[in-house]
Amino acid sequence: MTPIASLFPNLTSEPLASGPKERRTSVGVRVGSVMVGGGAPIAVQSMTNTDTADIEKTAEQVAALATAGSELVRITVDRDEAAAAVPHIKERLLQLGCDVPLIGDFHYIGHKLLADHPACAEALDKYRINPGNVGFKDKKDKQFSTIVEMAIKYGKAVRIGANWGSLDQELLTAMMDENAKSNVPLDTGAVTREAMVQSALMSAARAAEARSSIVSRSLDWAETTATVAQDARGCYKTILQIVS
């Protein structure tokens, strides 16, 4: 029988170092009563699957999630009825003794909903937007700026995210066209990853131009395959090298 030691020549009898990897220093962002980043413990966030316009069911589910350990809860704010319900949901939660921070998930018309429903803008603790879902062409920058200005007005954090499902298609198309002209073109996956990084950074720069000091950045994916997970790590490493 072959000795085990000969099969694994790199094995050592010395104990291996263990423990958590040193965290990157980041700027803390307060979301309601919860600090995110800046050395704070990792916070658990979850999302409701109710119709936000249904005040009672949404408040009940938010409270249940908080009781189960969720420290932040995201709700969809997709139309006027949902936006109008948000302050009442917040009020109902406080009646239930639940003060978990609420995050509003906006797509396409977030700028209008926040402007038309100031009570919603004030009740939420963070606004969640994706660069590809803010608007199109000439309207995009203006609508994005409106959201940031509302965040400044009410002292709220903004989550700027880039993911596969809501990547800025104008940016991606421009980068794909430029890549096609290159003598050494990159594969589609590499261009897409770079587009995600640039989308997040460009949006953060636009927010800074609006004099916002309360913006958090993130990259996230709904997919969980190994290939996508590897792409996620690559995007994170790239963006951290740039912003560090």
Q: Which contiguous run of DSSP H or E holds residue 170?
A: helix 169-180
Strands (DSSP E) contained in 120-186 are 126-129, 157-162
Fold for the domain defined by 28-243: TIM Barrel (3.20.20)
Q: What is the mean pLDDT of residues 14-33?
A: 79
pTM: 0.79
Residue 2 pLDDT: 58
Q: Which of the two residues, 169 and 6, has the higher pLDDT score?
A: 169
Looking at per-residue pLDDT, the higher value among 102 and 3 belongs to 102
- pLDDT of 236 > 90? The answer is no
Q: Which residues have a Cβ under 8 Å from the Cβ of 17 and sit 6 or more positions away?
A: none
- What count of other Cβ atoms lies within 10 Å of the Cβ of residue 221? 17
How many other C-beta atoms can be found within 10 angstroms of the C-beta atom of residue 149? 17
Instruction: Name the percent of the chain in helix, strand, coil, to the closest 5.
Output: 50, 15, 35
Confidence of residue 240 (pLDDT cuts 50, 70, 90): low
Provide the pLDDT for residue 139. 76
202 vs 231, more confident = 202
Q: What is the mean pLDDT of residues 88-100?
A: 98
Domain range annotation of the chain: 28-243
Q: How far apart are CA 38 and CA 27, in angstroms?
A: 5
Mean pLDDT of the chain, nearest integer: 83
pLDDT at 213 over 60: no
Q: Is the confidence at residue 215, as pLDDT, over 60?
A: no
Confidence class for position 221, pLDDT limits 50, 70, 90: very low
